[in-house]
Structure 1
Amino acid sequence: MIEIVCGTNRPGSVSATIAEIYADLLRQRGQSCEIVDLSALPADFTVSALYDNAGANEAFNRLANRLRQVQKMVFIVPEYNNSFPGVLKAFIDGMDYPSPFKGKKCALVGVSSGVQGGGMAMSHLTDIFNYLGMHVLAQKPRLAQIEKNLEGDRLTNALYQQLLEEQVESLLVY
């Protein structure tokens, strides 16, 4: 099982669409997967599930437990203000310590409206995962100007499709 984390809590996000595309690529190769959609987090989770309230919020715990159970993850990382969304950082910070990410493997996919494709966002997230002991796949597709390269639930950019397919193949043998 591979968990795909949609790295934003924005309803109807482009990142959620990319997560679905990625899930289809994994399923086409016979790999089971599920999507952890951060839009399912309780709106008050930074108060009701972290720090002194760690373990007290069942909705947060359900999402966090899914990541504790798997050995591989994919993070769809939208670029917000030249980094990744704060909701993803808060979700990571809400996990147990020592980190349930330690020794696990992950892949990152950057998504942005701009021309950088989330490169800085993935760099920041890679630093955090390295600190937590997670192994990050070197291939990190950057899907820049995503709105120009997406029609509904389909990528129209052949290079983007190829990059995702290559990353999926690498992740499966990683």
Structure 2
Amino acid sequence: MPEPRHTLAVIVGSTREGRFAPVIANWFTRHAETHAHIDVDVIDLDTVRPYELRGGTEAYESFAKRVDRADAFVVITPEYNHSFPAPLKHAIDLLRPQWQAKPVGFVSYGGISGGLRAVEQLRLVFAELHATTVRETVSFPLAGNLFDERGELHDPAPAATAADALLKQLTWWAVALREARLARPYGA
């Protein structure tokens, strides 16, 4: 039985100059696109510029619609000082109902922890927004050492296995929660 189609918004959470996020995002997006039932929408906060968004503007409405259209999310986050980037928090805080009753997964990178401390904190933020975070993650400790100059993993198998587990969980939740929202609107 084929998997039901759904839209996955991949949110690239770093906006720092010289950021490593595009390498991670490009790898994950290419991998997610191998799953024929997933339509990927990459929302790069470096392009969205969340601090410049104001309610009622075209840019704000565009961002809100893209988040609202998504059935599931993968947040790609680095770990900065044991946490996640401020622009990512600001982008999340700009919206509320668009996140509700939807699943969120994480792909993280950083030092020895691979960004997992940032993920722990993001789980709390998304719980407050009534989003469901999934257990499986993809984590890249010391990420700069894992990729070559073309942005390819030296050893892709472990990350691909983790990404497939993440996408499998997200698909289940995306479809189940979409059907639930259609049957009965979510009321937080």
- TM superposition score normalised by structure 2: 0.79
1:3 is aligned to 2:1: no
CA–CA distance in structure 2, aligned partners of residues 124 and 35 of structure 1: 22
Quote the residue 1:161 is aligned against: 160
The Cα shift of 1:87 comes to 0.3
Spell out structure 1 runs of 4+ moving beyond 3 A. none
- Does the CA contact (< 8 Å) of 1:3 and 1:33 recur in 2? yes
Give the alignment's Cα RMSD to 1 decimal. Answer: 1.8
* 2:14–2:45 Cα contact (<8 Å) kept: yes
Q: TM-score, normalised by structure 1?
A: 0.85
- Which whole-Å deviations, capped at 9, do the CAs of 1:31-67 have from their partners, x for residues lacking one? 211210001124xx53x53xxx4223x2233223201
Unpaired runs of 5+ in structure 1? none
Distance in 1, matches of 2:18 and 2:168, equals 27
Equivalent residues of 2:11, 2:75 under 8 A apart:
yes
> CA–CA distance in 2 between the matches of 1:60 and 1:120?
29
Is this contact kept in 1: 2:64–2:98, CA < 8 A?
A: no
State the 1:12 CA deviation.
5.6
Give the Cα separation in 1 of the matches to 2:154 and 2:163: 13
Question: Aligned AA for 1:35?
Answer: V
In the TM superposition, what is the alpha-carbon distance from 1:141 to its structure 2 partner? 2.3
Q: What is the CA–CA distance in structure 1 between the aligned matches of 2:71 and 2:45, rounded to whole Å?
A: 19
The answer to whether the aligner puts 1:136 opposite 2:133 as a matched pair is: yes
- Over the matched positions of the two proteins, sequence identity in percent amounts to 23
* Corresponding position: 1:121 with 2:118: yes
Q: Which residue does the alignment assign to 1:76? A: 76
